[in-house]
Amino acid sequence: MLVLPSKHEGFPHVILEAMASGVPVLVTNVGGISNVCRNEEDILFIDRTPESIANAVLRVFENGELRRRLICNGYLLAQQHTVRENAKKLTAVLRDHWGGQT
């Protein structure tokens, strides 16, 4: 399990690395994380208070359905954001911008 109670972030790559490793991810909803991840589907959003963190960790440990969903969906999401997949997306954007000339 990755628990990342950040105060400020853009989109930390450690989230995708943890998902690709098959662990549930618990993070604060800061920066661009919610633009990529869905709460309770790919990731679990938490508050930064010790009580919230402890409750979320216990919830993931005790709720097998939630844990499996976070792991499976997180793994699939990580596969969509590999270097290879991002390079394909960037190439498509450049082709569209430059009219097929790359």
Kindly report, residue by residue over 44-87, the tens digit of the pLDDT: 999 999 999 999 999 999 999 999 999 999 999 999 877 677 77
Q: Which of 42-55 are b and which e, b meaning 16 or more Cβ less than 10 Å from the residue's Cβ?
A: bbbbbeeeeeebee
User: Across all residues in the chain, what is the average pLDDT?
Assistant: 90
pLDDT surpassing 90 at residue 37: yes
In this prediction the pTM is 0.80
3-state DSSP assignment of residue 14: helix
Domain parsing of the chain, residue ranges: 2-98
pLDDT-based confidence at residue 98 (cuts at 50, 70, 90): confident
Q: Which fold has domain 2-98?
A: Rossmann fold (3.40.50)
- Residue 32: both structure tokens together: 């661009």
- Residue 35: both structure tokens together: 């633009």
Residue 9: its pLDDT value, please?
Answer: 79
Residue 100: its pLDDT value, please?
Answer: 62
